[in-house]
């Protein structure tokens, strides 16, 4: 079911009513394909829809005046691209499809109307936004204070936890369709340094990467190497509204 990752993500923390789920699915009927390397949203754009990744991987990025780019977040199935951009008025960064993506286009006005009547769903969507902010803070720490080995290990642990949240991890194996250049843009390293770091992780039997798939033989060992706790993802179920 194409809505699976989105519902799974929100249901991780929210005891949503059946009516919440039904209404959210209703709003996600406009699903479009965005080819790889094409912007889903561009910096400066004023979108009148909220965008949700249903399939594929995307990235938030900033472009400097000299053309250099920095990836500031990876987006996976179940992630919102721009949940509250209507409040700010325009995009202050771009979102590009890293792979071919299936993206739901939800009219902002309809989502606003829905959340005004569904308190539990509103809180679940705010949770999603606050987790995005937590990820951004952790990425700042990652680039600023962790060495290359810890950076790459930490990022892989994060993606494992996030993919697991939406049901896309099987026996600690999941799709990781990222190039070494994209990992470099996300971690402030060079592609050569990323390559060496991945080789080191492989040599310690902490990761296996083949054909765009990442396998983590010992999740606990990789988390220990990265100093990863995952507390910033706030993955804990709670009843956001009384039944």
With cut-offs at 50, 70 and 90, classify the pLDDT of residue 239: very low
Q: What is the pTM of this model?
A: 0.92
- State the average pLDDT over residues 174-189: 97
Domain layout of the chain by residue ranges: 4-118, 138-233
- Asked: is 138-233 a CATH 3.30.750.210 domain? The reply is no
- State the average pLDDT over residues 111-117: 81
- State the average pLDDT over residues 83-110: 89
Average pLDDT along the chain: 91
pLDDT at 200: 98
CATH among 3.40.640.10, 2.60.120.10, 2.60.40.10, 1.10.1200.30 for 4-118: 2.60.120.10
What is the Cα–Cα distance from 155 to 186, expressed in whole angstroms? 9
With cut-offs at 50, 70 and 90, classify the pLDDT of residue 242: very low
Examine domains 4-118 and 138-233 and report if their fold is the same. Answer: no
- State the average pLDDT over residues 122-137: 90
What is the Cα–Cα distance from 176 to 179, expressed in whole angstroms? 9
pLDDT at 86: 64
With cut-offs at 50, 70 and 90, classify the pLDDT of residue 2: low
User: Tens digits of per-residue pLDDT, 24-33?
Assistant: 899 999 999 9
Which of the residue ranges 14-28, 123-137, 205-219 would you say has the lowest mean pLDDT?
14-28
Whether the pLDDT of residue 87 is over 90: the answer is no
Whether the pLDDT of residue 237 is over 70: the answer is no
With cut-offs at 50, 70 and 90, classify the pLDDT of residue 241: very low
pLDDT at 82: 87
């Amino acid at each position: 079911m194409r809505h699976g990752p989105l519902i799974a993500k929100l249901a991780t923390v929210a005891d949503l009513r059946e009516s919440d789920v039904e209404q959210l699915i209703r709003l996600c009927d406009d699903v479009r394909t965005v080819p790889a390397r094409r912007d889903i949203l561009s910096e400066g754009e004023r979108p009148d829809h909220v965008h949700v990744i249903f399939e594929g991987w995307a990235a938030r990025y900033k472009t400097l005046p000299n053309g250099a780019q920095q990836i500031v977040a990876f987006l996976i199935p179940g992630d919102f691209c721009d949940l509250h951009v209507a409040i700010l008025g325009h995009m202050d960064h771009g979102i590009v499809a890293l792979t071919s993506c299936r993206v739901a286009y939800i009219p902002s006005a309809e989502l606003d109307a829905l959340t005004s009547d569904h308190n539990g769903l509103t809180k679940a969507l705010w949770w999603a936004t606050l987790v995005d902010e937590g990820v951004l803070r952790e990425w700042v720490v990652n680039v600023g204070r962790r060495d290359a080995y810890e950076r790459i290990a930490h990022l892989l642990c994060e993606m494992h936890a996030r993919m697991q949240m939406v049901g896309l991890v099987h026996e600690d194996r999941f799709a990781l369709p990222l190039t070494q250049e994209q990992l470099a843009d996300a971690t402030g390293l060079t592609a050569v340094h990323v390559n060496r770091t991945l080789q080191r992780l492989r040599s310690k039997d902490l990761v296996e990467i083949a054909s765009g798939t990442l396998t983590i033989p010992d999740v606990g060992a990789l988390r220990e190497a990265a100093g990863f706790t995952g507390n910033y993802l706030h993955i804990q179920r709670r009843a956001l509204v009384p039944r």
